[in-house]
Amino acid sequence: MQVVTCPECGGYVALDSKRCQNCGHWMNPTTASELPKAAERSSTRRRSRFQEDMKSPRKVAFFVVCIIVFFVLIAVAVFFALGGGHSPEIKFIADGGSYMVTVTYLDGNGIHQAQYSRSGHFEWKVTGASSANMILMSDTAASVTGKAYVDDRLVDQQSGTYVMISATP
């Protein structure tokens, strides 16, 4: 069986083959008749499969798109891993006579609590908490009203001398 060298990849191909088994290049009769001389050359350099694939513009475009998608996915993962994205805001509002306020919230650093003695209007905000509670205790028999908002959306509202409201994004 006589062997010739493929003009595309430099691989050895049987003379009666229609295509190169290495790169898929079509071997036509005029090329095949000229190739026995080239097969005798010992300094034929073979290209790698990657070099062959990069000759096709469609394959190059596909390769570039894959790399771009890979880096975009990495960037998105890093963004969310570092706490990117939307952090909800929890807001409590209280109105009434004289009252005691206890606010408790949970975030990535643990549980936090604060107490205030107020009269009239009271407003408290936290961003990035996973949940929060507010307890209002009236110092007198007067009613106290408490409201809880998550991103300016009312989620809980109560009135009375003892009020406990919650907000969870």
Burial class (CB in 10 A: 0-12, 13-18, 19+), 1: exposed
Q: Are residues 105 and 66 in the same domain?
A: no
Q: Are residues 114 and 147 in the same domain?
A: yes
Q: Are residues 12 and 44 in the same domain?
A: yes
| Domain count across the chain | 3
Q: Are residues 94 and 148 in the same domain?
A: yes
Q: What angle do CA 113, 116, 122 make, to 5 degrees?
A: 110
Q: Are residues 104 and 154 in the same domain?
A: yes
Beta strands 162-167 and 144-150 are unpaired
Q: What is the DSSP letter of 47?
A: P
Q: Are residues 101 and 162 in the same domain?
A: yes
Q: Are residues 115 and 78 in the same domain?
A: no
Q: Are residues 97 and 158 in the same domain?
A: yes
Residue 155 tokens, joined: 């989620």
Q: Which of 69, 85, 101 is the last residue of a domain?
A: 85
Q: Are residues 100 and 73 in the same domain?
A: no
The pTM of the full predicted model, rounded to 2 decimals, is: 0.49
Q: Are residues 40 and 59 in the same domain?
A: no
Q: Are residues 93 and 148 in the same domain?
A: yes
Residue for token digits 């919230």?
105
Question: Helix/strand/coil (H, E, C) string of the chain?
Answer: CCEEECCCCCCEEECCCCECCCCCCECCHHHHHHHHHHHHCCCCCCCCHHHHHCCCHHHHHHHHHHHHHHHHHHHHHHHHHCCCCCCCEEEEEEEEEEEEEEEEEEECCEEEEEEEEEEEEEEEEEECCCEEEEEEEECCCCCEEEEEEECCEEEEEEEECEEEEEECC
Q: Are residues 40 and 58 in the same domain?
A: no
How far apart are the C-alpha atoms of 5 and 144, rounded to whole Å?
Answer: 93
pLDDT tens, per residue, the chain with 169 residues? 688 888 888 888 888 888 888 888 888 755 444 444 544 444 445 666 666 666 778 878 888 899 999 999 998 888 777 656 667 889 999 998 889 999 999 888 889 999 988 888 999 998 888 889 999 898 888 889 999 999 889 999 999 989 899 888 7
Host domain of residue 156: 89-167
